[in-house]
Amino acid sequence: MLGRFLGAAQKAVRLNGQVTVLLTTDAAIRKLNRQFRGKDKATDVLSFPASGVGAEGMAGDLAISVTTAMGQAAEQGHSLAVEIKVLVLHGLLHLAGYDHEADEGRMARRETALRARLGLPQGLIERAGQSKQAAKSIEKKRSARAKAQLCPEPPVALLKSCPDTGSLAPRVFSPTVKSNPFKTTTKAKRP
């Protein structure tokens, strides 16, 4: 299901190349956010455009916190699968070069049009205008979930799209890997 959506969304965004989607936890995405953006907090989606040697045929990588997505799905009144699709679309737009923090609404307009085309509910940029109290509620839920986790470093799922077929190839990674888990040369620990 996610593989078909990823292919359809990539086509709608007009983004060519392989995209890797990492489904992970708040703890793991917080580490990535701190390492690559200098922000020591969990977030819902991170985008890493492919560049440099070996990037041919690659569009980039997305990291999605399933923990955060669950809370956002509940708050928005839709399923986790729908929320992950909203996050994938948002991340793909970033991979395509859009930046809602600096583009004077260009990304917001594109995301709105694509959500309608793909049958998705309200997007992340629109939600940003919601009350700060809702954001505080999500943060409290995140903190409670993080404290309740029994395994401090659970495995995460990594899905790679195949541009030719749209299928996904799942692999399991441990967030203890010290280097960028998105690099194709990184060797992951199998459980």
pLDDT in tens, 6-65: 999 999 999 999 999 999 999 999 999 999 999 999 999 999 999 888 888 999 999 999
Q: What are phi and psi of 87, to 5 degrees?
A: -70, -40
pLDDT at 139: 62
pTM of the model: 0.70
Task: Confirm whether 128 is domain-assigned.
Answer: yes
pLDDT at 163: 47
Task: Confirm whether 142 is domain-assigned.
Answer: yes
* 76 to 56, 71, 86, 145: CA distances (angstroms): 38, 9, 11, 18
pLDDT in tens, 112-170: 999 999 999 877 667 665 544 455 555 666 555 554 443 333 334 555 554 444 444 44
Task: Confirm whether 27 is domain-assigned.
Answer: yes
Structural domain for 130, as ranges: 2-173
31-65 residues labelled b (16+ CB within 10 A) or e (exposed): bbbeeeeeeeebbbbbbbebeeeeeeebbbbbbbb
Taking residues 62-86, report their average pLDDT: 95
pLDDT at 171: 38
Number of separate domains in the chain: 1
Task: Confirm whether 22 is domain-assigned.
Answer: yes
Neighbours of 122 (CB within 10 A): 13
Task: Confirm whether 178 is domain-assigned.
Answer: no
Task: Confirm whether 96 is domain-assigned.
Answer: yes
* 136 to 66, 71, 143, 164: CA distances (angstroms): 18, 12, 11, 42
Task: Confirm whether 189 is domain-assigned.
Answer: no
Supply the CATH number for residue 66's domain.
Answer: 3.40.390.30
Tell me the pLDDT band of 180, cut-offs 50, 70 and 90.
very low
Question: Three-state DSSP class for 133?
Answer: helix
Task: Confirm whether 93 is domain-assigned.
Answer: yes
